[in-house]
Structures are given as structure tokens and as C-alpha cells.
Amino acid sequence: MYRSVVSRRCVLVCVAWIMAMGFIFGGPTRAQTPMKVAADAPGFQPTMVYQDFGHGENVNTFNGGLIVDHVSRIAVPENLGGLLAPRRVYNSKDASYIWIPQATDPLPPHGWMGFGWALSFGRVKLVIQTVDCSNSTQAAFLYFKQWFYVDESGAEHRLYLAATGGYDGTESWDGSPTTPTNPPPKPRTGALYVTNDGSYLRAYWSGSNSWPNDGGTWTIYYPDGSTRILGGDGTSFLAPTMQGANNSTGDMIQNWSQQGWYTTSMKDRAGNTTAVTYRPYQPSVDPVNHPYAGQQPYMGAISSITDHMEDSDPSHRRTIEFEVFTGQTEASELNGLLHSITLLNASPAETETYSYTLCSYTAPVNGVATTFQYPELSEVADPVGLDTRYNYAFPSYSVGDSIPQLLSRIDYPTGASVSYTYGMWDYFYYDNQTTVFDSDDIEGVTSRTESGAELGGSSGLNTTTWLWNHQYSQNDKLYLTGNDGQQRCVVYATTQDPLGQVTAHLFSCPLTGYDYPAGIEMGQFLYSMGNSISTDNVYSNCVYSKITDLDWGGGDAALCVDVSGPCPALQIPRGNSRTLDTVETEWAAGSKLWYKKVQNLTWDNYGHYMLTYTTGTNLPEYWVTARAYDLKYASTGPYQLDRLVVSFAGTATSAPTGGTTASATGTFRMVQQDYTDAAPFPNAGLLAYRCQMRSSVGSFSLDPASPRSAMVTPGASDPTATLAYLDSQGQNSAGGNIDSLVKTPSLGS
């Protein structure tokens, strides 16, 4: 429910308007526009769309970012239907930074899997936000602290101090906001932190009296009831090192690539806990001249993962062990990099191994061309010896070695090969500080080619190629009329499939700081063979179109505020953006052959529309689906947003109505279900029963303030499934697994 690479909601994937440049440079970041930040956003963002090619390969349609998400073959099933499997993730948006070791930026700009790759269960980091006040009576610059949760995919979720409980939401600097110096700033103890990016994550920080020697812990709350603990000891926390304001280069956090809190514990809604341990951080004593000399130059290098199978029988406990390269020469740059992953006590033994190559690049240092190197993941061999290989290349637009190598080819053990090329294009944006239009460059994927041996023979190759073209300059902007009749500014990118057919994707391009967030797909147009988009009339030669209107707000979005006052405000994009309605149409020679409109009604404030209905060609009635969720989001008690308690599906004889309630009249089938929070699974929300009402109903009304009011008492003849669960005490640690399922009435009734 919360995970989809093309959804406008998801748990692990997040903000389209993150302060991504803060990740690249570590601070300070100016008050950036949503357009600029969306262009550099890594990972899976809940409001953006991706083309999923399988094999874990995805391309962000808006910004061209390549995300490769490869799951380790070292994986074990867990209680409650979970799977414990390390994921190695490549983000091309995290690999676009040319690094020159220097006093202000001495540490390798990557983690323990080489340039562009990560293997992490989550990290919270500090970013310094700079507000330019040079046109006011304030100091030239004011500095504010911001916290980001980086999930497994590399997506960054801004954690806002909630404007509640006596806090106004603004986190000014600890001390003077004009001179950010050590000790580094810390989060607010016991305060609620929230998100507005559609991920619906929440967080708390538990402080320490010995900050920054002891970093305390962050708790991240997912909307499915699971939690993560980050930090707690010296191997899972590294305090940010401040080096004073440097507005020209943006190097205020010296150890930006390593600092922060790393996940040490993961707990599901039934209380099953998985522990993560790390290797001690041992960087080089002279990183400017010898950045790779340390025995462990990377924070977040995992040592082991131990799951929750910890009853009286130790054999039920499973541990995945991670080994790194040690004792290597400095020139090899291998020390501290992931070398192998092993499932302990497996029979037969299961080990996955990792290999690396070095990339050389040249950059000017004091006017002198100087050669540097960094490691790149080159090969992964699974437990049975099947290899996946990775190759890299400098993009064609790189002047000399001014841009790092990017992932250019993947060779799979099946014999298939995939290659990528990259391009650079111009895009314009509205600067919310200078209130003028500006432009910048964006880099991304421009082609993907997949090759394999021909079927039935070994000669030649089967080849398919996808192409992308982005038109984001100010002269390329268009105005799209939405389903509500309003015109909005958009820019467009085209994709060409292997058969040569072109699809145009129209993305929001805000002309003010408070317009639609940037990078959200608002229109999609498929053209007849041999044709493409015409900027004079986007419907010309179109055979299919899809127009999307958006809504926003709800959840914790209202609690996300930022800087305002005599300086230019840090404008918060409209939070928790979501689809309000879509209209799909098929065309022939400019005439409609068929259309379908999907309309959503009555937002429950935390991730769900209560009613969706469909109208269109040859649909004399209204197709309706409706659902009510028993939301748990109080500051005390469980945080769960996925407890569906009642749903309806059928046809309505008149248009359903929305507003404070969602109602419809017609013929509907009803399903209801409920949950157990009783011991031994307090607040777990495990499904207790599910009932399909045998008789249809003629009407319903759903109230988000009282979702259970639509529930009824099942009759003796209504098919019902009742579940019971295994307790983790004395039951082979099967916490939350189904023990029994009883159907009533029995078969034959």
C-alpha cells in the first residue's frame, strides 16, 4: 500500500523538493527552488514517476536519474511475511560530484560500496540551510539547521520540527544564527518531527547530556506501524564537524559525507526486532593528502545483521555477516570497502563477494592539473558463482574529466547486457529569493539499450533501445489546461520506445514559490507512429492522453513551516501532493474515440481518499470503490495508517458525493475487517477477521472522523475468516505469524 515506484504515496521513497544540494556539498544551501532541487533528487520520490525496466533498474522520467536497486542473494524470510535482504543501490544523482581532497572537504564523497553506490538501512544527517539576507537589515546570511532521513533507496525525507507543543517549527542555529561554529547543532529533545512529502514518516530524537560525544537516538515511525532506531553508540553516530561559514564554496560541514546517525534496530508492528551493528570508524589521520589511508574510512560500514529468532534455541537465530577489505595498500583504495556478505551457519555455505576497480580523473588544484582516483563497484559474485558486472564511463558532455564516470553498463549472469548513456540539458526555474527566472544544467539518462543472444542461435544480438529527450528551457515551457479548466505552466520530456513510438510527459514547472511542486507529471500524450509532440498543439497526432489534477495538504503538512520575516522566506512547497482526478482519452484524427475519468472524493487526511468513482464512454452508471481506515496517529499509542476496516465496490445510479463524508446510492458489495491489539501483540494491529457480506447494500456513507460507524454485525451466513497468531514466547520466535484460520460458515453451509 505504501510502496510503489509510480505511486504518489510511499514509505521508503520521498521528497521531490528535497535540499539535494545540501547532500552534495554538506552546507550551506541557499533557499532553493523546488525546480532546482527536483532536478537533483536521488532515490524513489513519492510524487515523481519512474520507468521500471525490471531487474531493479528505474529511470526518473523527469530528471533522468538512474536508480539500480539490486537485492542480495543472501536473504532470509522473516516473521509477519517479511524478508531480510541487503540491497545495494546505485543513484546517478549521487555520483555527479567531482571531489578534490582539501581541508574543507577531506573525506571520500562516498560510502563503503564505492562511488555512487550505497548499502544502508537508513541514516539521519544534518544539512545547513542558508538564508540570504543581504537586502535586509539583518546580517548578510542567517543559518538554520535541517534534518534529513535518507532511506534505503537514497531518497531524502526532510524532517520538519513540528509546529506544535510550543514549537513554531523554525529551527534556528544553536547560539548565534550568523556564526555557525562548533559544537554542531543538535535536534530538539522529545519534540515531534514530521514530513510533508507523501511518505507520512514521523520522528523523535532522544537527547543526551553529553552532546556531541553522545549523539542520542532518532526513532523513525513508518505509517505501517514499524519503527527504526538510529544511533545509540559510537559506531552508529558521527557528530557533524563544523568549520565556520563559507558561503562561496558551501563547505560548512567538513565531514558531510559520513556524519549522522545510522540504523541500529528495525522493529515491525508485531514487535519482531532486527539488530544492525557497525564497524568502528577509522579514517585517515591525514585525509587531505591520504584520504584512503584509513583502515575504515567510511561510517555506516555494517558488521552484522541479526534477526529476531532469539528464543531458547540459539539455532533459530540468523545472522548475516559483512566483511570488508583490510590490510590493503593505500594505493588500492580497498580498505573498508565491502568485500563479502555471508549467511552464517547456512548449509551449504552462502557467501556473496564484491570486487572493485579504480577510476582516474584529473582536476585542477591551484592551477595545476592533478590526477585523483576513487573506487567503483565492478563485480558481484553470488553464492553459486554467478556474476553481475558493472562498468562506468565519462559522459559525452564531460569536458576532460570534469564530470565523474557514471554507470554505463550492467552485464547479468543470464547473458543479457544493459547500457546507458547520459546527456545534459538546460532548465529554467523561478528563484524565490530574487523573484526572477534563472536557469541551470541538469544531467540524466538519455538512452537505455538492452541486448541479448538471439533465440535459437548464438549469432547476432536482440537489441531494444529506449530514448529520452528533455525540453526544459524557458522557451520550451507550455501551458496545459487541467481537468478543472485552469492553465498551468509545464515543461516536457519525450520517451521513445524500441518500436519508435513517442510519449510526451508534461511536468509541473512552478512560476511562483507556492505553485504546484516541481517535477510532478500532469500530462501524458502518446503519439501515432512517426510523430511527436507539437508545441503549438500537444493534441496533434495524439492517440492517447492522460491529464492529472492535483490536490495537497493533510497529514502533518500543516505542521511543516520554515523561515519567514525580514529575510526572503524559505517557501515550503505544497505538502503531501496527491492525485485528485485523471482523464484518459483515446483519439483518432483529433476526435475522441473513448474517454475515462477517475475522480477521488473526501480525503481522510492521512493518505487515503475515501471514495473513487469512474465515468466514461459506454459507462451508463458510476463505477465506485470506497474504503474507510481506522487511523492511528495520536502522539501517544501506535502510529498506523493502513488499518482498512470497511470497503464497498459496485455501481452508483447517480454521482457520488464528497466533502466531510463520502456517500453513494446504488448496488454495492461490502467487506469489513478488524484488528487485534491485545497481548502478546499490544498495538500491533494484526488482522483479526475479514468478512464478505453475502447481501449487497443499496447505499453507504463514510465519515473520516468516524470510520467504524459504517461497520455492521456480520450475520451467521456471511462468509468470515478469523485468524489467530503465534506468540513469540515458546513458539520458535514466530511472533505475528498466522497460527490458525477458521472460516465460517463451514464448507457446505
Task: Give 85-98 pLDDT, tens digit per residue.
Answer: 999 999 999 987 77
Q: 20-29, 566-575, 648-657: which range is least confident on average?
A: 20-29
Average pLDDT over residues 535-554: 94
Collapse the DSSP code of 54 into the 3-class scheme (helix H, G, I; strand E, B; otherwise coil) and give the result.
Answer: coil
Task: State pLDDT tens for residues 491-516.
Answer: 999 999 999 999 999 999 887 655 67
Task: State pLDDT tens for residues 160-170.
Answer: 999 887 777 77
In this prediction, residue 402 carries a pLDDT of 63
Please state, in angstroms and rounded to a whole number, the distance separating the CA atoms of residues 387 and 381.
4
Q: Are 463 and 416 in contact (CB under 8 A)?
A: no
At residue 251, does pLDDT exceed 70?
Answer: no
Collapse the DSSP code of 710 into the 3-class scheme (helix H, G, I; strand E, B; otherwise coil) and give the result.
Answer: helix
- The cell for 299 is 561510517
In this prediction, residue 212 carries a pLDDT of 87
Question: Mean pLDDT, the chain, as a whole number?
Answer: 86
- The cell for 544 is 492517447
Please state, in angstroms and rounded to a whole number, the distance separating the CA atoms of residues 325 and 338.
7
Task: State pLDDT tens for residues 440-491.
Answer: 889 999 999 999 865 555 555 789 999 999 999 888 899 999 999 999 999 9
Q: 97-101, 119-123, 662-666: which range is least confident on average?
A: 97-101
At residue 13, does pLDDT exceed 60?
Answer: no
Quick one: pLDDT band at residue 367, thresholds 50, 70, 90?
Answer: confident
Longest CA–CA span in the chain (Å) reads 87
Quick one: pLDDT band at residue 6, thresholds 50, 70, 90?
Answer: very low
For 134-168, letters b (16+ CB in 10 Å) and e give eeeebeebbbbbbbbbbbbbbbbbbbbbbbeeeee
Q: Is 479 exposed, middle or buried (0-12, 13-18, 19+ CB in 10 A)?
A: exposed
Identify which of 15-24, 285-294, 378-387 has the greatest average pLDDT: 378-387
Collapse the DSSP code of 476 into the 3-class scheme (helix H, G, I; strand E, B; otherwise coil) and give the result.
Answer: helix
Quick one: pLDDT band at residue 730, thresholds 50, 70, 90?
Answer: very low
Quick one: pLDDT band at residue 423, thresholds 50, 70, 90?
Answer: very high
Please state, in angstroms and rounded to a whole number, the distance separating the CA atoms of residues 321 and 662.
51
Please state, in angstroms and rounded to a whole number, the distance separating the CA atoms of residues 509 and 477.
8
Backbone angles phi, psi at 723, to 5 degrees: -115, 150
Tell me the HSE value of 497 on the side-chain side, using a 13 A CA sphere: 11
Q: 142-146, 490-494, 544-548: which range is least confident on average?
A: 142-146
Task: State pLDDT tens for residues 604-656.
Answer: 999 999 999 999 999 999 999 999 999 999 877 789 999 999 999 999 999 99
